[in-house]
Amino acid sequence: MARREKRRGAPPLEGDEQRLRRRQEEAGLLLLRIRGLVRWVVEGVATGRSPSIVLHRYRNYCSAADAASPSHCDCSYDAPVGTDVLSLLHKDCHTSRLNVLLRVLLVVQQLLQQNKHCSKRDIYYMYPSIFVEVAVVDRAINDICILFKCSRHNLNVVPVVKGLVMGWIRFEEGEKKVYCITNVNAAFSIPVSIEAIKDVISVAQYILVVEKETVFQRLANDKFCERNRCIVITGRGYPDIPTRRFLRYLVEQLHLPAYCLVDSDPHGFDILATYKFGSLQLAYDANLLRVPDIRWLGVFTSDFEDFCLPDCCLLHLSPEDRRKAEGILARCYLHKEAPELRSELEAMLQKGVKFEIEALSASSISFLSDKYIPEKIKQGRHL
Amino acid sequence: MASSTSASSPHRKLLRSLVYWAVQRCRMSESPCRLTVSVKRPAEAASASLLRVSVSDTGVGSKLEEFLELDVLARETPVEKWDGTLLITTTGRDIKCKIHQAGYHIQKSCNIQILILRAPNLACELFVEQIGNAESRNVRLPQDSDDVHHSVMASSSDRLVSGLKDYALSHGNTCDKCDTCILNRDLLKIGTGAANNVDRRKAKGLHVEVVIVIARTASDLCCWMVNCPSTQVLYFEDFVPCPISQSSFNVLVSTDWQSYGFKLKGGFIDDEGNAVLEWDSMTFARVDIAIHTYLECAMQDGQGSQQDRHLVRKALKSALSHLKANHARDFLSCHGQRVREYVPDLAESIAGLILSSNDKEFQDECITLLGLGSDQDSEGLVRSSICEKMVHIIELNDTKENVDDNAPYLFECEKLDEDSQLDEEYEDEDMVFDF
């Protein structure tokens, strides 16, 4: 039920007391499930049966073998594609995974009981010899989310947010007022706790997501938002979970179109894909984190000629770039859902060149803000 | 013949053949039988370097094949002074077979070690005699009386086991005088396996017996030598040692040792035809393995055992499973060992989840499930209870494929080099056969 409710999107805004009570109920429910799992494990051990935990395996994309005619695959944004059984009796790596999962669960139980929060790095340093590296903790947190059908924020494990937002919006995050609208050119940090957001007011016409902070600052410096009624967000490269959640929240609450501006290279395309289709690591939550309707505003390979950029702005694709591009081209969601995006990436690969958003400054320092973005949006030149 | 100071192959072959046929005759005998290996060294100056070795038995049933083989081996044996008479003595009657050869003259000393499996109805003795006026003495190394009685009068399932135990202890113990090492016999871990293939139409039954003896780490035993990283496999056919067959060797190196916690690094057949297995990261002081292949009836046609690698594999696996069944904790598979390493951490996490819960009712329920009393809720007790139960689960799962094994035969080892005077006067293992 909890998962089904989440999939419908964020619930209507509610009062502080109701919000607090709901959070307490969610924590209580999780603690109940944790005790149920531990009881199951103890019963097994006591009766001579190996503790076994069945985990669903999620996958939101795979590499389609045949580009011409993609075969049907099991990938899904909300349904599991298989199961792993963690126990003492089979694979060593599953025993290791079980070991790590239970240790992280011990920490999570304490966090929920004491209503405290911590980062995954905090957890890592509590038992570094068991975890070996932070990525191992990350994997265990994913396993716990899958096991209990919840998301990371429900476990009181919070990330460090690096995303920024500015523009025609104002909201409150708990007791904190985030009034971007009073200075639409000022950068604010993306809120950590989406559940704490309330009183959202916006008069923006669209949301613009940009890959890099340098571009974000360029727009701020040009006072882009004063002349364009919009909200600008940057994830500073690959977006973290709160940035993705915040973007999805805005799209759902404000019903605004979202555009994405990334470099014309495989790396930029992959960032766009993360916003639009979700990441493999968080495949179990893909349907809650992705923004399927986000539009790719640019930069396209064809923009180079369309906007008469000088040759010195072009860079050749490196061997790594080519490998990355070929890997992305094989992803099943491009075949199934976005062939036009795939064609654009293929064109990049065929021409063998790439260039950055900043290259648009070759015409003039404010070309991006004054001409490129407004014209692209106005003319509907996006994919 | 397991080892000697030098490789004098023709002499060893001849002596082995003498012993082989004597053993087969004893096996055919339905009454108790005695096998004697006699070594005589004259003290006279004129023949100071002459050594006489004779093999005699009280068995029955000499065969033509025996003499034909001896004739061939005798021709291969380098001789200088020999009157051509080879004497083989059986109960109450001498059989003389003249072979026209020159006389034989020994130049150097003899240091031979003979490992003989004791067959039913067979008692063995080694007799060393120095003949002459000065310092004349006889050395007889008879078996222990109880052992003689036991082995002669009845078939025992522990014969091969007992023999290999003695072998392991004698090779592992570097202290001659420490009596407590005798007690270490009980610290050895034994695995026995057997397989047979009885073909009724041909009335030919092939038997394979395997014994594995494991000694614990050197630090446990006061006089033990350092850990031995390789195993020389003792291979017998029809109760007599012989070079291992290629097919049996292939079985040894292709066995899934990891399922029993062993890590085989490699293996080879040495110059004397012995299989040697090399181990990686050994957790034991030493591993000794004996394989015995024999026909049910001695002196049958098709003499010499038929090589059947399937039976060797089956018996070896049976022996390993026997080890694991009796000592599951020590012979967990490599996988089981890796999983077991997680148990302390897992137990700590589970105990922590139970005891850090703010639900008292849940805590009591879990403690009851673990079989602990309500006053036994310390984290240490809960953790060790979970640890113990988890280890048991791992061991139980690891030993799901136990195979029953049959009775093996015992094994014996005797040394000749204990006589220091013999060593002083002779340097190699040349020998002369007396008539």
pLDDT tens, residue by residue, B206-250: 778 788 888 755 544 555 445 667 887 888 777 677 788 888 888
Strand partners, B267: B277
pLDDT in tens, A256-293: 999 999 999 998 999 999 999 999 879 998 988 999 99
Say yes or no for a CB contact (<8 Å) between A39 and B365. Answer: yes
Among A61, A77, A125, A333, the active-site one is A125
CA A259 – CA B393 distance, rounded (Å): 56
Per-residue pLDDT at B5: 31
Of residues A41 and A382, the one with the higher pLDDT is A41
| Backbone torsions φ then ψ of B277, nearest 5 degrees | -105, 135
Chain A within 8 Å of B372 (Cβ-Cβ)?
Answer: no
Interval A171-194 mean pLDDT: 88
pLDDT in tens, A49-79: 788 888 988 989 998 655 555 556 889 998 9
Q: Is the pLDDT of residue B422 over 80?
A: no
Band of the pLDDT at A41, cuts 50, 70, 90? very high
Per-residue pLDDT at A187: 93
Per-residue pLDDT at B233: 85
Assign A76 to helix, strand or coil: coil
Residue of B342, B353, B365 lying closest to A106 (CB–CB)? B353
Pick left, alpha or beta for residue B273 (phi over 0 → left; psi -120 to 50 → alpha; otherwise beta).
left
> Which one-letter DSSP state was computed for residue B184?
G
Q: Give the up-direction half-sphere exposure of residue A6: CA atoms within 13 A in the CB hemisphere.
A: 18
Assign B53 to helix, strand or coil: strand
> Which one-letter DSSP state was computed for residue A154?
G
CA distance B352 to chain A (A): 7
Q: Are the C-beta atoms of residues A191 and A199 closer than 8 Å to each other?
A: no
For residue B139, what are its two tokens?
A: 């050395």
Say yes or no for a CB contact (<8 Å) between A39 and B397. Answer: no
A125 classed as catalytic = yes
Band of the pLDDT at B302, cuts 50, 70, 90? very low
Nearest alpha-carbon partner for A246 in A226, A228, A232: A232
Q: Which of residues 22-81 of A touch B (CB under 8 A)?
A: 31, 34-35, 38-39, 41-43, 45-46, 48-50
Lowest mean per-residue pLDDT among A137-151, B40-54, B220-234: B40-54
Q: Which of residues 110-129 of A touch B (CB under 8 A)?
A: 110, 113
Percent of chain A with pLDDT over 70: 94
Q: How many CB pairs under 8 A join A and B?
A: 84
pLDDT in tens, B361-395: 899 989 999 998 877 668 898 989 999 899 989 98
Chain B within 8 Å of A362 (Cβ-Cβ)?
Answer: no
Interval B74-81 mean pLDDT: 53
Cis peptide leading into A299, omega within 30 of 0?
yes
CA A124 – CA A146 distance, rounded (Å): 20
Per-residue pLDDT at B192: 81
For residue B132, what are its two tokens?
A: 């002459």
Whole-number Cα distances in Å, B283 to A171, A282, B227, B286:
66, 43, 9, 9
Assign B292 to helix, strand or coil: strand
pLDDT in tens, A1-37: 343 333 334 555 557 777 787 778 889 988 998 999 9
Nearest alpha-carbon partner for B135 in B40, B52, B43: B43
Task: Please list every residue in chain B whose beta carbon sits closer than 8 Å to the beta carbon of residue A38.
Answer: 350, 353-354, 357, 362, 366
CA distance A33 to chain B (A): 12
For residue B121, what are its two tokens?
A: 């109805």
Q: Is the pLDDT of residue A111 over 60?
A: yes
Assign A52 to helix, strand or coil: coil
Residue of B350, B358, B396 lying closest to A41 (CB–CB)? B350
The stretches of B77-173 forming alpha helices (DSSP H) are 145-153, 159-172
- The count of residues in chain B is 435
Interval B100-123 mean pLDDT: 41
The stretches of A47-91 forming alpha helices (DSSP H) are none
Q: Is the pLDDT of residue B428 over 50?
A: no
Per-residue pLDDT at A251: 93
Q: Are the C-beta atoms of residues A230 and A205 closer than 8 Å to each other?
A: yes
Chain B within 8 Å of A105 (Cβ-Cβ)?
Answer: yes
CA A287 – CA A14 distance, rounded (Å): 23
Q: Are the C-beta atoms of residues A339 and A304 closer than 8 Å to each other?
A: no
Band of the pLDDT at B264, cuts 50, 70, 90? confident
Assign A325 to helix, strand or coil: helix
Collect all residues with Cβ–Cβ distance below 8 Å to B125 and sequence separation of at least 6: B34, B35, B36, B37, B140, B141, B142, B143
Of residues B128 and A172, the one with the higher pLDDT is A172
Q: Are the C-beta atoms of residues A350 and A311 closer than 8 Å to each other?
A: no
Q: Is the pLDDT of residue B116 over 60?
A: no
Interval A370-379 mean pLDDT: 88
Band of the pLDDT at A305, cuts 50, 70, 90? confident
Q: Which helix (H) or strand (E) holds A337?
A: helix A332-337
Average pLDDT, chain A: 87
Of residues A167 and B30, the one with the higher pLDDT is A167
> Residue A92's CB: how many other CB atoms inside 10 A?
15
Whole-number Cα distances in Å, B53 to B23, B40, B77, B86:
17, 6, 14, 11
In this structure, what is the dihedral angle of CA atoms A264, A265, A267, A272, given to the nearest 10 degrees? 40
Nearest alpha-carbon partner for A283 in A64, A74, A26, A40: A74
Per-residue pLDDT at B191: 85
Say yes or no for a CB contact (<8 Å) between B353 and A105. Answer: yes
Per-residue pLDDT at B162: 65
Task: Please list every residue in chain B whose beta carbon sits closer than 8 Å to the beta carbon of residue A110.
Answer: 356
SS (H, E, C) A11-27: CCCCCHHHHHHHHHHHH
What residue in B sits closest to A41 (Cα-Cα)? B350
Q: Is the pLDDT of residue B193 over 50?
A: yes
Chain B within 8 Å of A103 (Cβ-Cβ)?
Answer: yes
For helices B309-326 and B246-254, the axis angle rounded to 10 degrees is 40
Nearest alpha-carbon partner for B139 in B129, B124, B152: B129
Of residues B278 and B5, the one with the higher pLDDT is B278
Q: Are the C-beta atoms of residues B311 and B382 closer than 8 Å to each other?
A: no
CA B326 – CA B399 distance, rounded (Å): 10
**CA gyration radius for chain A?**
23
Collect all residues with Cβ–Cβ distance below 8 Å to A289 and sequence separation of at least 6: A241, A244, A245, A248, A278, A282
Long-range contacts of range A120-123, CB-CB < 8 Å, 24 or more positions apart?
A120/A157, A120/A159, A123/A157
Lowest mean per-residue pLDDT among A264-273, B269-278, B392-401: B392-401
What residue in A sits closest to B393 (Cα-Cα)? A48
Site of tokens 């394989």: B291
Task: Please list every residue in chain B whose beta carbon sits closer than 8 Å to the beta carbon of residue A50.
Answer: 393, 397
Task: Please list every residue in chain A whose beta carbon sits closer than 8 Å to the beta carbon of residue B355.
Answer: none
